[in-house]
């Protein structure tokens, strides 16, 4: 009986340790910016490895359902090997991520990319580009990382560019309300003319 109690206590302590360890590893996400359609955005990867979500760079963009969206991540120097993931929805901290390609509780994975474009610096690894048709209207999230962090000895921030094309702006609720009010006004004017 004592052995069973000790075993149960050990399992419980292990479970608590694992749970606390996951939460202690959580880092709040600080978004680098909002990617506007067709604009080249610049970022710097501080040797952030693929296996550590707390070191990924996070960005956002908006798209409407049906948009054919292209997200392109290009290195600006030889020592970076960029890799990226795209999600619909947002997370507030990094503890929810197990990889660049998996969904989380609040974000649906759209996909990831690595080595889909040639390396402009002539190295062995390419740059990522993801093309997809947006299934949802709203806010999307992009995360970039250095696939081979440390392998090329990127000694400081390695610069990259990120570009989204094909994403149309999501209509603002106020714009829709104004449009609806205009339609009501047109209908009212038409009715007055028909009565007169």
- Residue 45: predicted pLDDT: 77
Q: Is the pLDDT of residue 36 over 60?
A: yes
pLDDT tens digits for range 71-104: 999 998 887 888 999 999 999 999 999 888 899 9
- The fraction of the chain above a pLDDT of 70, given in percent, is 73
Band of pLDDT at residue 15, cut at 50, 70 and 90 = very low
Residues 182-191, mean pLDDT to the nearest whole number: 72
* Domain extent listing, the chain: 28-171
- Residue 50: predicted pLDDT: 74
Q: Is the pLDDT of residue 150 over 60?
A: no
- Residue 9: predicted pLDDT: 45
Q: Is the pLDDT of residue 161 over 90?
A: yes
pLDDT tens digits for range 101-119: 899 999 999 999 999 998 8
Pairwise pLDDT comparison (55 vs 66), residue with the higher score: 66
Q: Which fold has domain 28-171?
A: Jelly Rolls (2.60.120)
Residues 134-159, mean pLDDT to the nearest whole number: 81
Q: SS3 string of the chain? A: CHHHHHHHHHHHHHHHHHHHHHHHCCCECCEEEECCCCCCEEEEECCCECCCHHHCEEEEEEECCCCEEEEEEEECCCCCCEEEEEEECCCCEHHHCCCCCCCCCCCEEEEEEECCECCCCCCCCCECEEEEECCCCEEEEEEEEECCCCCCCCCCCEEEEEEEECCCCCCCHHHHHHHHHHHHHHHHHHHHHHHC
């Amino acid at each position: 009986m004592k052995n069973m109690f000790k075993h149960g206590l050990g399992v419980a302590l292990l479970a608590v340790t694992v749970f606390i360890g996951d939460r202690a590893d959580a880092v709040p996400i600080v978004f680098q910016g909002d990617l506007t359609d067709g604009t080249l955005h610049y970022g710097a990867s501080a040797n952030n490895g693929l296996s550590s979500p707390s070191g990924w760079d996070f960005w956002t963009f908006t798209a409407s359902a049906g948009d054919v969206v292209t997200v392109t991540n290009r290195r600006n120097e030889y020592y970076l090997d960029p890799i990226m993931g795209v999600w619909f929805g947002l997370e507030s901290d990094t503890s929810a991520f197990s990889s660049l390609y998996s969904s989380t509780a609040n974000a649906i994975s759209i996909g990831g990319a690595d080595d889909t474009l040639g390396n402009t610096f002539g190295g062995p690894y390419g740059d990522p580009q993801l093309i997809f048709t947006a299934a949802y209207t709203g806010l999307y999230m992009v995360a970039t990382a250095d696939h081979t962090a440390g392998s090329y000895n990127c000694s400081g921030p390695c610069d990259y560019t990120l570009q989204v094309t094909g994403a149309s702006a999501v209509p603002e609720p106020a714009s829709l309300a104004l449009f609806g009010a205009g339609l009501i006004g047109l209908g009212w004017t038409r009715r007055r003319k028909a009565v007169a």
